[in-house]
């Protein structure tokens, strides 16, 4: 498996089966060209099998952190470490970009997502935000560095 940072629309379109719906070219172009927006795709034999998006957010008194916006793995490749590898790759990118942390929100009953984030090294028990959302609080220094996969731009 190889993880690559996406920079071209054709890569997004080739991986649209990993998104909630078909790729919208205008939205994809805007996402890819917006500083601080990141899309990584995991490939197995050049086939897109997983994707993760991250968005840098900056607050005046905190600095910049990475928001893990979306994670998706092809059903045929689940429970093979693809999701955790993508989370670790995004965390490494966040470190490289000077982010002080990374966070994600998910539903309380989404056990697969919670297991993926904790398996990738998310620290803490998380906080409840509203009735249905848990925010595991991954700190970048707790997420294992991505050493088994290649990440390239």
Distance (Å, whole) CA 67 – CA 104: 6
pLDDT of the residue at 117: 84
Phi, psi angles (nearest 5°) of residue 112: -65, -45
Q: Quick one: pLDDT at residue 123?
A: 64
* Least confident range of 24-28, 66-70, 97-101, 148-152: 148-152
Q: What is the mean pLDDT of residues 52-63?
A: 93
User: Hey, what's the torsion of the CAs at 69, 27, 5, 92, to 10 degrees?
Assistant: -30
pLDDT(146) > 90: no
Mean pLDDT score of the chain, rounded to an integer?
A: 83
Q: How big is the chain by its Cα radius of gyration, in Å?
A: 15
pTM value is 0.83
Answer with the residue of higher pLDDT: 129 or 21.
Answer: 21
The tally of CA atoms less than 13 A away on the side-chain side of residue 7 is 5
The pLDDT of residue 139: 52
């Amino acid at each position: 498996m190889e993880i690559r940072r996406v920079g071209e629309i054709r890569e997004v379109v080739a991986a649209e089966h990993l998104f909630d719906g078909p790729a919208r070219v205008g939205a994809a172009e805007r996402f890819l060209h917006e500083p601080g927006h990141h899309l990584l795709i995991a490939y197995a034999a050049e086939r897109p099998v997983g994707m993760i998006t991250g968005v840098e957010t900056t607050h005046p008194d905190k600095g910049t952190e990475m928001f893990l916006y979306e994670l998706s793995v092809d059903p045929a490749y689940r429970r093979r470490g693809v999701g955790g590898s993508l989370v670790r790759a995004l965390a490494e990118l966040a470190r490289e970009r000077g982010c002080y942390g990374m966070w994600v929100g998910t539903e309380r009953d989404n056990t697969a997502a919670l297991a993926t984030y904790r398996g990738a090294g998310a620290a803490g028990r998380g906080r409840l935000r509203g009735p249905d959302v848990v925010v595991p609080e991954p700190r970048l220094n707790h997420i294992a560095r991505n050493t088994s996969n290649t990440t390239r731009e």
